[in-house]
Homo-oligomer: A and B are copies of this chain.
Amino acid sequence: MTALLGACASAFGGVGRVLRRQKSQLSSTAAPLEAYAELKQQLKEVARLQEIEGILSYDEQVFLAEGSMASRAAQKETLAGVIHDKRTGAAMRAAVDAVRGLDFDDRQVAANVRDAVAAFDKEARKSKELAEREARLESECFVAWKSSREASDFGAFGSSLATMFALKAEVAAATRPELSGVEPYDGALDQFERGMTSARLDSIFAETKAGLAPLLAKVLEKKRAGFDDAVHPALAFDHPGWKDSTDAQAKLSAAVARDMGFDFGKGRFDVSTHPFTGGACPADTRITTRYSDDNWLEGFAGTVHEVGHALYEQGRDTSDDGDGLPSSVALSMGTHESQSLLWERMVLQSRDFWDYAAPLFHEAFPHTRDATPDDFYRAINRVQPGCIRIEADELTPFHVFLRYGVERELFAGSLDVADIPDRWNGEMKTFLDVDVPDDASGALQDIHWSFGAIGYFPSYTLGAIMAAQIFEAATAELPDLAAQIRGGDFAPLRAWLQAKIHAVGSLDASPDDLLRSVAGSGIDPKPFLAYLEAKYAALYDL
């Protein structure tokens, strides 16, 4: 599932911000504190407009009628132009130049200044025409993807997609000229994972793949040899007890969202084709999910996943030095995904969780009363390679490896969009021994490229790796955590995450820095691999 987040801001509750010294006054005519105050004012104005962008996007995906799409594209294009003007105009330039080179003692003030200067320098390299074209294409391409997916015909989406990749390469070339001729794709990656490079990613993914491949092979070998991992009959997706169950699923999902701590007073919970977290800011955070009679797990697990994202948003710093300012925004998409996946995998997919959740299912769906917590645990952790990324189990993140390879080549221009379906279907066969029946279940399944999120997919696997590291740290610091999860008491874990991750926002310069302070080391696949090895060895008696 995806997190499409409206921009906003926060970090730890700052008071009494002071300046220690001033390294340079060359570019500053105002006193440092006044210069910072003016910068804040400029940044907050931009943040409010970006919050509006978040609402327009949410509305577009959840509420907007088909025939209104073109009008929305025009509105977003105009707003994007206004925001671009504000981010790069004379007032912002003056405000940024006035703090440039100043040294601020306070960590939050320093982070605001650091990120504001970097963002200005990057944005100022993008022309207004390019910013407006980007916004317009993102709306148009989404419409093309939607109808192409409905028809399950990749061809119809192809030309829009080619335009999108060409545009994103143009954006990367314009905003990160230093990468041109080296690895322009790193400019796209950096939009989502600050400081991440494809070289580093190659190494992290290689280590992950090297650990996962033999483990997956052992499980599949065991299954072929007849190991019984059959799902309890009541939990089979086609059990008649799930007929007309979507209303009850929605009710149960809302109850769990509440138990996890989602604040319904500052957000919404809707249904959409593609589940996501969006909205405007910590005070207005919105999630969607989808329910199906054919898959009772999708809506429930999707809710837990999106609430993981939403808790990050609702938990950000809203003090005056955070709200609307860069230090309070989520650190990276991988960090965001670490929060959704921590709740989805380390919590919902744990054995402990089902001591809490099985009775709720028994109550809501009487036909499941025979299924024990163990039965639920085994059912939702059954290894079964398949076509669909968001249904993939934690042992099979090969969708992401595949997307990563494809988008890197598309970005470099070494792959033709027309060749994507063949490439896609071929690799699914090679990696997972899965036959893709049609494009809708293949290369068209994910929305991301259609709205310009190129360089985003790696964040999913980075998030999974980080989630394991963070949960290991939480377990060490909260000795009663397992018992709390068994009892449905999620408040201590939520509070720990808020203090360690959500409210810390972007004070750190990179996810590596954040992880070093939270978990003792930078991004490292070992805890993720160790967790999977222990869990699946027990489940599959390896």
Contact = CB atoms under 8 A, between A and B. Distances in A.
Interface of A: 45, 48-49, 51-52, 55-56, 59, 63-68, 70-72, 74-75, 77-79, 81-82, 263-268, 280-281, 283-284
A138 to B, nearest CB: 16
Contacts of A64: 284
Given A45-B78, A55-B59, A82-B49, A263 B71 contact: no
A424 to B, nearest CB: 33
B264 A68 contact: no
Contact of A48 (B45, B48, B75, B266): B75
8 contacts: A48-B77, A48-B79, A49-B82, A59-B59, A65-B264, A67-B265, A68-B280, A72-B280
Contacts of A65: 264-268, 284
B265 A66 contact: yes
A197 to B, nearest CB: 36
A81 B268 CA distance: 27
Given A45-B78, A82-B82, A51 B67 contact: no
A71 B51 contact: yes
A280 B75 contact: yes
Contact of A56 (B52, B70, B81, B263): B52
Contact of A284 (B55, B68, B280): B68
B52 A79 contact: yes
Contacts of A55: 55-56, 59, 75
Contact of A68 (B66, B82, B266): B266
Given A51-B75, A52-B78, 18 more contacts: A45-B81, A48-B78, A49-B82, A51-B71, A52-B52, A52-B79, A55-B75, A63-B63, A65-B265, A66-B265, A67-B266, A67-B283, A70-B283, A71-B281, A72-B280, A72-B284, A75-B280, A82-B82
The interface residues of chain A, by DSSP majority, are classed as helix
Contacts of A70: 283
B79 A49 contact: yes
B284 A71 contact: yes
Nearest to A264: B65
Given A59-B59, A63-B268, A52 B75 contact: yes
A403 to B, nearest CB: 33
A157 B270 CA distance: 33
Contacts of A49: 75, 78-79, 82
Nearest to A318: B71
A36 B78 CA distance: 20
Nearest to A53: B52
Nearest to A284: B68
A265 B63 CA distance: 12
A121 B22 CA distance: 47
Contacts of A74: 48
Nearest to A267: B65
Contact of A71 (B78, B79, B268, B280): B280
A11 to B, nearest CB: 17
Nearest to A77: B48
Contacts of A266: 65, 67-68
Contacts of A79: 48-49, 52
A283 B51 contact: no
A278 to B, nearest CB: 12
Nearest to A324: B74
A383 to B, nearest CB: 40
A310 to B, nearest CB: 12
